[in-house]
Copies of this chain bind each other. A is one copy, B any other.
Amino acid sequence: MRRQGEPFSTIVTLITAALCTLLLAVFAGLLGYGETESIRDLFQEPEFRFALRLSLQTSVAATLLATVVAIPCGYFLARNHFPGKVVVDSLLELPIVLPPLVSGVALLIFFGPLLGPFLQEAGIAIVFTPLGVIVAQWFVALPLAIRSFRQAFAAVDPRMEKVARTLGCTPFQSFWRVVLPIARPGILGGMTMTWARTLGEFGATAMLAGVTRMKTETLPMAIYLSMTNGDLSFALAIATVLLLVALLVLTAFKVFMRTEVQL
């Protein structure tokens, strides 16, 4: 209950309004400062086209791979309770808390000195390759996907499945015909957020795949490279594009969830 002019409510409202204004100003500044022409030119630029294509390819691949793994894992975690589950939880959440650079270093050690020789024999190159971009993005985004899918599955009453069983479903049928369709908005929302994370990923990718122009150059890499080279307008243009993509992602997410953001 709030009355007009009540000091506490007024202060709380004012702080929120001030913060919103600040955020609006920061983002509007980015949009306003970049020249519109440079964005139009951008799509002619071969480096941008390479980065855009690489970013889209790797982020979509990483998101799909993460989804494939996260659906069974999320379902398992949503439905099973066992002693020591908190350890499994922590392990799967560690990459969320860990700085991406550290994840990247760990991946570099794992796929380099540790697994490298075996992979080389099999003819697979991960370190400093576009494949490494996918692996790094997948590794960093996977825990987010698992967490959001898990929430989506947990929100499906287990008795929905039990009823399906009494109606003649095998466990897989009840998952496929009941749980997955009901959890669909949450899955789509989670995939959207996962994709946004892979698209913006920098730290782990930089460590595992390296920051190599026109080779492992995703859009965030392109921003970083052009900023360090002093090409501010190119960086600004890409940043503007990514800001617009983020707005789109957020809108898509809200549409999927049709509720407040849960992730």
Contact = CB atoms under 8 A, between A and B. Distances in A.
Interface in A88-119: 88-95, 97-102, 105-107, 109-110, 113-114
A72 B1 CA distance: 16
A105 B227 contact: yes
A188 interface: no
A246 B97 contact: yes
Interface residues of A, number: 87
A12 B199 CA distance: 28
Nearest to A197: B97
Nearest to A75: B12
Interface centre among A12, A100, A102, A227 (most CB of B within 10 A): A102
A95 B33 CA distance: 19
Contacts of A86: 254
B254 A90 contact: yes
A91 to B, nearest CB: 5
A223 interface: yes
Nearest to A222: B101
Contact of A200 (B12, B100, B249): B100
A224 to B, nearest CB: 6
Given A29-B109, A239-B101, A89 B223 contact: no
Contacts of A242: 98-99, 102
A165 B252 CA distance: 40
Given A90-B254, A100-B202, A105 B30 contact: yes
B23 A98 contact: no
Interface of A: 1-2, 6-9, 11-13, 15-16, 19-20, 23-27, 29-30, 33, 69, 72-73, 75-77, 80, 86, 88-95, 97-102, 105-107, 109-110, 113-114, 139, 142, 147, 162, 165, 170-172, 175, 193, 196, 199-203, 206-207, 219-220, 223-224, 227, 235-236, 239, 242-243, 246-247, 249-251, 253-254, 260-261
